[in-house]
Amino acid sequence: MLGTDKNAIRRLYLSGQWVEPEDPLPVVNPASGKVIAEVGTLGRPAVAKAIADASDAWPAWRRLPGRERGAYLSKIADVLQRRAEEIARIITLENGKPLAQSRGELSMAVDHLRWFAGEAQRAYGRVVPNQVEGKRHLVIRSPVGVVGAITPWNFPLVLAVRKVAPALAAGCPVMLKPASATPLSAVMLTEAVDEAGLPAAVFQLVVGQSADIGAEMLENPLCRKITFTGSTEVGRQLIRGAAENVTKLSLELGGHAPVLVFDDADLDKAVEGTLVAKFRNTGQSCVAANRVYVQRSIAERFIPALVDATRRLKVGGGLDDGVDIGPVIDEEALKTALERIEDAARRGARVLCGGRRWPGGEGYFLEPTLLGDVPEEAICMHEETFAPVMPVCVFDDEDEGIHKANATRYGLAAYAFTRDLSRTWRLAESLEAGSIGINDAVPATSQCPFGGLKQSGWGRELGTEGLDAFLETKHIILGVET
């Protein structure tokens, strides 16, 4: 248990056993800057062994009926649900997010597991009518093989589940490599997998130097697929590394979501939705609103209301009551956010509220910040700002709003507030984003596909599409006499 027995969380789970590797990695609580735990790390040879063991475990796992693989996922979900409060606190301790949001993350992880427990039974192929007498055609789908899953720190539990659950459901063994900043949630998931009794080496936890682990996953021919969530920069490195073995990749990368607030919007809902779109997870979400564009005719009402609402957000440690904004992940992230604010101000932006390190805590806290009159050249207008910093600008008409919203190399999420149905449809067709929230600020749900256009990634997670990343399609041709 965290805090009472450090050794209990130093362990890693390899080939169905808990082992205690060397070189413990310290885990820091971003709300205090203090080390709260240590987790063991692996070198490259141990990762190679994990891949070999996973490959040996593959034939038996893929042969299991989907219903049985799904039953294992349901058991993992049951364990997470039973330990929900304990795990939510661990998410908050290592990541910093407010406890209520950690509980939400835990619930969503459980929901994903239950969704894929069902999807495991639905990896359908099809029968295709023949064109020529004496032939029959089947399309079947088979698991791709051993999967390496690399995940970020911002949603340390749910983003791991978003990969592990469909990989297992599809019949693939999976090795989870969590972010070094937040390995504890992955250890909790691993404990749930262990309790659910999965066969040895079907799931393994690998923590260590990301470049070494990534290189082994890319270069080892037994590792057939890498599914990655993280920055576009690291995604690009993986694409380059995948060239040699033509390793299959799914990539969930960075975002730079716009919010368009039209003059026909319900203003109260638009303020509330914009706050959620930006400040959920302390602004450290791939789908976070990074640019707000408000129609000029309502700017004088909308912007002051947004400033008031932002000022009311409560900053503090995630375990404290009623906190809306926790710390950012580390000192470096705080420094980058402050530099972005300074850059915008130097180019003529006005700091409407916030703008400084929050003085109330020892960790990496930033006051929730709104910037007005931000010029397009400011860094925060074209680079993802992973912090509670929100630039607010104006636009005149729909075409200009859409043009500004799409003026980015990213395409993960976009939001708009409007009550006009025809405009809603025009936005759905023209905004370049994988998820488009109209009068809604929380885009992900188990039942619908999630992923990015442009430099926000390749492929989709969740929904009925969620298994696709882990399945190969085969055409079977039968010569028959009829």
| Interaction of residue 355 with ligand NAP, rule CB under 6 A | no
Query: How far is residue 160's CA from residue 21's CA, in Å, rounded to a whole number?
Result: 22
Q: What is the 3-state secondary structure (H, E, C) of 442-475?
A: CCCCCCCCECCEECCEECCECCCCCCHHHEEEEE
The smaller minimum CB distance to ligand NAP, of residues 229 and 408, is found at 229
SS3 185: helix
* Exposed/middle/buried for residue 126 (C-beta within 10 Å: 0-12, 13-18, 19+): exposed
Segment near ligand NAP (CB under 6 A); pick from 44-52, 267-275, 450-458, 473-481: 450-458
CB 328 within 8 A of CB 96: yes
**Is 353 known to be catalytic?**
no
CB of 295 to ligand NAP, least distance (A): 27
What x-and-dash track marks residues 279-308 binding ligand NAP by CB under 6 A?
A: -------x----------------------
Segment near ligand NAP (CB under 6 A); pick from 30-38, 84-92, 153-161, 319-327: 153-161
| Interaction of residue 152 with ligand NAP, rule CB under 6 A | yes
The smaller minimum CB distance to ligand NAP, of residues 211 and 480, is found at 211
Segment near ligand NAP (CB under 6 A); pick from 43-51, 185-193, 206-214, 347-355: 206-214
- Long-range CB pairs of 54-57 (<8 Å, 24+ gap) are 54/146, 54/173, 54/174, 54/175, 54/201, 54/202, 54/204, 54/222, 55/145, 55/146, 55/173, 55/222, 56/201, 57/173, 57/199, 57/200, 57/201, 57/202
CB of 114 to ligand NAP, least distance (A): 20
| Interaction of residue 464 with ligand NAP, rule CB under 6 A | no
CB of 164 to ligand NAP, least distance (A): 14
Q: Which residues pair with 223 in a beta bridge?
A: 146
Q: Which of 119, 191, 216, 252 is catalytic?
A: 252
Give which of 400, 449, 399, 440 is closest to 417, Cα–Cα: 440
| Interaction of residue 119 with ligand NAP, rule CB under 6 A | no
Phi and psi, residue 115, nearest 5°:
-60, -50
Give how many residues touch ligand NAP by CB under 6 A: 29
What x-and-dash track marks residues 218-237 binding ligand NAP by CB under 6 A?
A: -----------xxx--x--x
Taking the CB of residue 133, how many other CB atoms lie within 10 A of it? 8
Segment near ligand NAP (CB under 6 A); pick from 11-19, 175-183, 339-347, 418-426: 175-183
The smaller minimum CB distance to ligand NAP, of residues 53 and 105, is found at 105
Segment near ligand NAP (CB under 6 A); pick from 121-129, 246-254, 358-366, 425-433: 246-254
**Is 252 known to be catalytic?**
yes
How many Cα atoms within 13 Å fall on the side-chain side of residue 11?
17
**DSSP string for 200-250:** TTSEEE--B-HHHHHHHHHH-TTEEEEEEES-HHHHHHHHHHHTTTT-EEE
CB of 435 to ligand NAP, least distance (A): 10
The residues assigned a catalytic role are: 252, 286
Using CB under 6 A, list all residues that contact ligand NAP: 150-154, 159, 177, 179-181, 210-211, 214, 229-231, 234, 237, 252-255, 286, 384, 386, 412, 452, 456-457
